[in-house]
Structure 1
Amino acid sequence: MASSFKSSSPIAQEIVARDIAECSEDEVAENVFEDDESGLDSGSESGPVLYTQPTGVAFGYRRPSIVADPVNEPVLTRIERKQSRDAERSLLRDNHLLPPKHVPEEQPGMLTKLYKALFSTKVRRTPGDEEVPRITVQPSESSPLLGSPPASPHEHLNEQWEAAVASGKIETTWQREAKTIATYSRSLILTFLLQYSINIASIFAVGRIGKVELGAVSLATMTANILCYAPMQGLATSLDTLCAQAYGSGHKHLVGLQLQRMTYFLWVLVVPVAVLFFFAKDILLHIVPDPRSAELAGLYLRIITIGVPGFAAFEGGKRFVQSQGLFIATTYVLLIAAPINIFINWLLVWHFGWGFIGAPISVAITQTLMPLLLLSYVAFVDGSQCWGGFTSRALTNWGPMIWLALPGMVMVMAEWLAFEILTLVTSQFGTSYLAAQSILVTLTSTTFMIPFPVSIAASTRVANLIGARLINAAKTSAKVAFCAGCIIGLFNLTLLAGLRYQLPLLFTQDEEVIGIVAKVMPLVAVMQVFDGLAAVAHGLLRGIGKQSFGGYANLSIYYLIALPISFATAFALDWKLTGLWLGTTIGLALVAMVEYWYTYISDWEQSALDAENRNAAG
């Protein structure tokens, strides 16, 4: 079901078509040969499939954006085709349409019975259904008349699956959906935590120096997010479409061309970003009341400018490997880069005694290292088949690419700004409040790394089931995801509320800052429930193809309701930081309610029909 909810952009099609037309005869011949080889593997595995790799690594360094529409790749990789067949086979076994994988015990013990009653993924049989139903595949004109060689593991599985779906025999259980969502989520949670650790390592290192330095890091990161990271990540989202369509066109070297084109474009944007970062201190001095915080934030931004080209290259490189189904590549890179970043922070800030300046240097080094590690993976492990070498064609055809990238940039920036503006406003309350805000943002962003991957997993699973025309199964999966969001939210609530005095000690020893954090923490803890539910709700909307509603609902509620409440309570009622977080909490609660309501009233049958039409359209 990789293409169940793919976005077929006319602009992207125009770009890829133009690049194909400019291919040389040698390039065409080479790609035709590759297509012939890949076609041998596809065999009977055409049609809707039940597995798509969850695409979550493409999101950002701070709080991930939940607005940008995901685009699934139109062609499954060889690994994904196998995983799809395994998922179909599991559901067929769950519904007793295939023999069990393991021979059941004739007289199971008490523990075995208890385990099956609680955790078995099998659909409960109705009385009288003792025999395993067999799905018969009718012979076709091409079927052999006499004995044939042994069937391959996937022989007739697609026909069996289609027959079972058509006859309405496929059901699922909450145990199966819980297991699937947990399997999808675990690697994403690890990846997000590793990626986010690159930023919080600096906050941990600097927070021990003093509250002014802690607040300055938060202020600098907020400025970098708005002026650099969010725009570049938003622009790079166009590669989700361009690389996927280039990969599916059969001209796989065009994936590398799209990467080069976007990377060069982002590097051009580094110039104005560098100018803004160079004069950031002068700008912040007119906005932030505390001059020392503005000076340190400006210094931080000047230094991390060195790492911006690496950040841009890594954003493009992630899409390059993801379009080939190599999602594990980014995880491997982060498994190496994150510990190195922590070590460099300790080495520069504390061991060498460089203090505050060591934190931005470590960020710049890590951001430069990450694309080099990703390049090493492509060169020595996998992914080089889509690299056709450097070409001057990457300097042409920029116009359509920019036009395609702008909407993604606007949506990502709009949501980032809604959160980051609170940090800027907090600076008006003084250095202690700015440091406390830095701690609260870091903690809530870290806890968000659990429900957000679950929302991606739920989105993927629901989309797969919808694309396979299993409406009831998709609704069961949605209910499981909702329960998971509740459980995670309550877990985060308990964690933050129970450790309201201990967690700030990880960042600072300043008593005033700790007191402010502890005062606001109960409200922030309550927000965790709505944060988890809202994340899962948006994932479900993406799963049924209604992600645009979720995006506009988020932005409307944040800007029209949440931010006005935050400003009114923070300044008019003088609640300060408590008021700012109250508006955010109310906003997330409204987002969750509105999105679940829309999910409930949506026509899931129509969503399945829309997915089928998109598949038919190619």
Structure 2
Amino acid sequence: MEIAKNDTREPYLVIALKELRWVASASFLTAFALVLQWSLYFVNVISIGHLGTNELAGTTLSIFLLGVIANAPTHGILSATETFCSTAYTASRDKTLVGFHLQRGLIAVAIHNIAVAPILWKIEPLLLAIGQEPEVSKFAGIYMRNLLITVPAFTGFEACKRYLQSQGIMHANTFVLVLVVPFHCVINYLLVRSPTYGIGFVGAPISTVISEWVMFAGIVIYIRNSRAMDTWGGWDIRAFRNMFVFYRFAISGVITICTEWIAFDLLNIGASYFGAAHLAASAIALNTLGIISYIGAGLGFGTSPRIGNLIGAAKPRQARIAGNVAVALSLFAGMMCTTFLIVFSDWWISVYTADPEVASKVKNLLSIACVFTTFHGLKEVLNAIMRGLGRQKMSATINTLAYQICAVPLGAYLAFITGMKSSGLWWGICIGILVLCCLQIIYIYMLIDWKNEVRLCIIRLRQNSADANEEQNQE
């Protein structure tokens, strides 16, 4: 495939305005969907937060351990699906390769989830073994054992979402979540706090189980009735074979995602050693940033398939401009979020807790969070550009350096050696994200040859097509 001639003809500003409209509309839908998806846990945290500090602390540990053990690797594995599906959709004549790569992603995440299920089931004794408070460990174990049922539904929903987004269908998961979130709010209230039907703490994870499976069913029904079925070639046994190329991208994606999730998980675990109040404050601050960060993540999920589609269509200049536009949007969104935290922090904290000790600690942590909110959104977009280009391996290297070599040791030093406690942990993460952004910017804007990325994309697709054809001939 030759590089499209119209890729270099239009002025930069004309292309930038086109990409601004596309990225803004697509990213708004994905960001809104991510906020809605996170709101399932947000609702749980609010309802449990009013039951007690130990309940909130146990829920927080459970959610973050589920994230780092199951959900983060799922996101990492499916990042390979983003790369292969988006480029196959525009570069391949056989559109059913999009569905073929989806199947490989589903196989990979299923294997992972089966492997980690016993660990998740035994999370209570594991927490006790590392010195967690018995009451907090008990609530974490109860929450996790119930939440374990959601793992297949979560992975299926995430895979289907990326399958649709790679084809430019950005609104499907938003449509599903707009219906599911109000439903979740109702059943959460009924199962947790209703005087008639409420069953207390355990009602929160049960409501999440119901909502997650409804989400998965909804997106499957959408696919069955949309144009996306044109790229689904049916279940193919060949998807199980020669998974090496897929795993080469998937493993790097897992490292990229897990280094960040582990760093934030260690932040929670570290905060727990300073007492339940510190852990609850850290949980509230992280939950707040989780909602805000999904604006940047939404930009990322809109940017990644766009970059992949344009590279697959042999339009490297337009792909680079699309990346520039997404970076600018992330900086603007980050500044708006920082302003919100500064102006409305007192009101926001009151939504979560009425405990004055916890509220004071949350306010201190949010003042630190204001420093890196902008950079966190920028990091999401830069990671998305790397995924769209298929550069998961380099992204994994940069994330490991920023989080595990810089953020975690520095945060531990500030928290435990200098006596800054949970504030020190947060400053370590702040500096790690800043380092991450600087390294990614240097790599993307100084070392990437965008025209060469088109050639690399075609090589990958030809290799996968050849593998599939060879296996078909052998049959």
Q: State the TM-score bracket (shorter-chain normalisation).
A: 0.7 to 0.9
- Asked if the contact 1:303/1:361 (under 8 Å) is kept, the reply is yes
Aligned AA (1:450): I
| Corresponding residue for residue 344 of structure 1 | 187
- Asked if the contact 1:465/1:474 (under 8 Å) is kept, the reply is yes
Structure 1 unmatched runs, 5+: 1-45, 50-161
Cα deviation for residue 380 of structure 1 reads 3.8
**1: CA distance, partners of 2:193 / 2:238:** 44
Aligned residue pairs: how many? 454
Higher relative helix content: 2
Cα deviation for residue 260 of structure 1 reads 5.7
Q: After superposition, what is the alpha-carbon deviation per residue over 1:502-556, rounded to whole angstroms, capped at 9, x for unaligned? A: 2111111111110110122211111213223333444555677766444422220
**1: CA distance, partners of 2:381 / 2:231:** 34
Corresponding residue SS for 1:517:
helix
Q: In the alignment, is residue 486 of structure 1 matched against residue 327 of structure 2?
A: no
| Corresponding residue for residue 303 of structure 1 | 146
| Corresponding residue for residue 557 of structure 1 | 402
Alignment CA distance shift 1:186-1:354 (3 Å): same
| Corresponding residue for residue 111 of structure 1 | none
**1: CA distance, partners of 2:304 / 2:102:** 27
Corresponding residue SS for 1:215:
helix
- Asked if the contact 2:166/2:309 (under 8 Å) is kept, the reply is no
Alignment CA distance shift 1:521-1:613 (3 Å): closer
Q: After superposition, what is the alpha-carbon deviation per residue over 1:19-69, rounded to whole angstroms, capped at 9, x for unaligned? A: xxxxxxxxxxxxxxxxxxxxxxxxxxx9667xxxxxxxxxxxxxxxxxxxx
**2: CA distance, partners of 1:278 / 1:545:** 34
Pairing partner for 1:428 from 273, 288, 292: 273
**2: CA distance, partners of 1:266 / 1:613:** 26
Cα deviation for residue 363 of structure 1 reads 1.3
**1: CA distance, partners of 2:87 / 2:324:** 33
Q: After superposition, what is the alpha-carbon deviation per residue over 1:253-288, rounded to whole angstroms, capped at 9, x for unaligned? A: x76666566546655555543422332111111224
Pairing partner for 1:371 from 209, 212, 216: 216
Pairing partner for 2:299 from 421, 431, 454: 454
Pairing partner for 1:217 from 48, 51, 59: 59
| Corresponding residue for residue 444 of structure 1 | 289
| Corresponding residue for residue 411 of structure 1 | 256
TM-score normalized by the length of structure 2:
0.82
Pairing partner for 2:133 from 266, 271, 290: 290
Corresponding residue SS for 1:289:
coil
| Corresponding residue for residue 172 of structure 1 | 13
User: Which aligned pairs between 1:305-344 and structure 2 lie closer than 5 A?
Assistant: 305-322=148-165, 324-344=167-187
- Asked if the contact 1:211/1:513 (under 8 Å) is kept, the reply is no
Q: After superposition, what is the alpha-carbon deviation per residue over 1:293-323, rounded to whole angstroms, capped at 9, x for unaligned? A: 1100000011112222322333343344445
Structure 2 unmatched runs, 5+: 463-475
**2: CA distance, partners of 1:262 / 1:484:** 30
Q: In the alignment, is residue 192 of structure 1 matched against residue 37 of structure 2?
A: no
Alignment CA distance shift 1:205-1:453 (3 Å): same
Q: In the alignment, is residue 510 of structure 1 matched against residue 330 of structure 2?
A: no
- Asked if the contact 2:77/2:253 (under 8 Å) is kept, the reply is yes
**2: CA distance, partners of 1:493 / 1:299:** 35
Corresponding residue SS for 1:250:
coil
Cα deviation for residue 438 of structure 1 reads 0.7
Pairing partner for 1:280 from 120, 123, 126: 123
User: Which aligned pairs between 1:59-98 and structure 2 lie closer than 5 A?
Assistant: none
**2: CA distance, partners of 1:183 / 1:296:** 41
Q: After superposition, what is the alpha-carbon deviation per residue over 1:392-417, rounded to whole angstroms, capped at 9, x for unaligned? A: x3795376488454443343323321
| Corresponding residue for residue 468 of structure 2 | none
- Asked if the contact 1:288/1:427 (under 8 Å) is kept, the reply is no
Aligned AA (1:189): A
Cα deviation for residue 178 of structure 1 reads 4.0
Look at both structures and tell me which one has the larger radius of gyration over its CA atoms. Answer: 1
Cα deviation for residue 460 of structure 1 reads 6.2
Alignment CA distance shift 1:593-1:276 (3 Å): closer
- Asked if the contact 2:256/2:392 (under 8 Å) is kept, the reply is no
Corresponding residue SS for 1:501:
helix
RMSD between superposed Cα atoms in Å: 3.5
TM-score normalized by the length of structure 1:
0.65
Corresponding residue SS for 2:273:
helix
The share of aligned pairs that are identical, in percent, is 28
